[in-house]
Amino acid sequence: MTTAYPAHRPRRLRQSAAVRRLVAETRLHPAELVLPAFVREGIEAPVAVSAMPGVLQHTVPSLVELARECVAAGLGGLMIFGVPEDKDEQGSGADAADGILNVALRAVREEVGDELVVMADLCLDEFTSHGHCGVLDEEGRVDNDATLERYEAMALAQAAAGAHVLGLSGMMDGQVGAVRRVLDAHGHDDVILLAYAAKYTSGLYGPFREAVASSLVGDRATYQQDPANAREALREIELDLSEGADIVMVKPAGPHLDIVADAARVSTVPVAAYQISGEYSQLVAAAERGWIDRERAMLESLLSIRRAGARIILTYFALEAAAVLPR
């Protein structure tokens, strides 16, 4: 009598940690992780962000120390966001040489040199009194082309401050081309442009808005992408590539892993993904309540982003993950 048995036994390749490690298709490495960080003007010591447990608004000195930690941990980069004391309608502090972001960029670059990729958020939302990513016209709408002029000024200021990478996060039409042209015209042709090519409007940005003391009233749906659309993301990616983007990014990462995979399929440059504040805070809050294993859930979330095709992951878990990942 013939005993029935499976014709194939995939479980053989799962029988031990050593075997699973041997055949793993996707791996995480600290060098692929970028830590987003906030530097705030006018404080004497770091301030905790209540909606993001473990995340701080830094002083310039504490940010420099954080950069040293990133180097020691083998991280790929540090993305810096500025939190100014004063704001106006034009976001004047964004391109001022003594603006908090540019001061911090210089300090960090002087400290770490080329040991860590120093990234600057290139957007006006932290610096404008209305909280939008661009300047407004007389009717209160974001003026795309006038905003590009502000982005050009920001780009020159950030390049002069020493940023290796400029993260164009405003989702203005033509922003990559405008910034690339002005940088090249002023001798900054080696500055890398990270295009937030597919940045979706999302309900998960709330904790970030606390972190940057956002002044936003309303939403950004007229310039950030509609979560209902996928083909539109591919068009945005193609446009940014045609304008000279060196890296393209999808944000948020977790809710849009299909877009990360599509981007990896079509992009001729590295694809990044941003695990945003709300994604971080959800995991942390559930772990604090004992509902999930924090480390396991953290690593699973990052691995899924990497598996979808992102070569670079921006995550507030970067240092925590690096501490448990093989080097």
Using an 8 Å Cβ cutoff, are 94 and 181 in contact? no
Q: Taking each helix axis as running N to C, give the angle between helix 60-73 and helix 100-112, from 0 to 180 degrees, rounded to the nearest 10.
A: 40
**Pairwise CA distance, residues 5 & 239, whole Å:** 54
Q: How far is CA 316 from the centre of its chain?
A: 9
Handedness of CA 86, 278, 154, 166 (dihedral sign): positive
**Pairwise CA distance, residues 158 & 289, whole Å:** 41
Please name the residues in contact with 65: beta carbons below 8 A apart, sequence gap of 6 or more: none
**Pairwise CA distance, residues 178 & 184, whole Å:** 10
Spot the catalytic one: 199, 220, 256, 306: 199
Determine whether 251 is an active site residue.
yes
Using an 8 Å Cβ cutoff, are 261 and 308 in contact? yes
Spot the catalytic one: 87, 180, 251, 306: 251
Write out the catalytic residue numbers: 199, 251
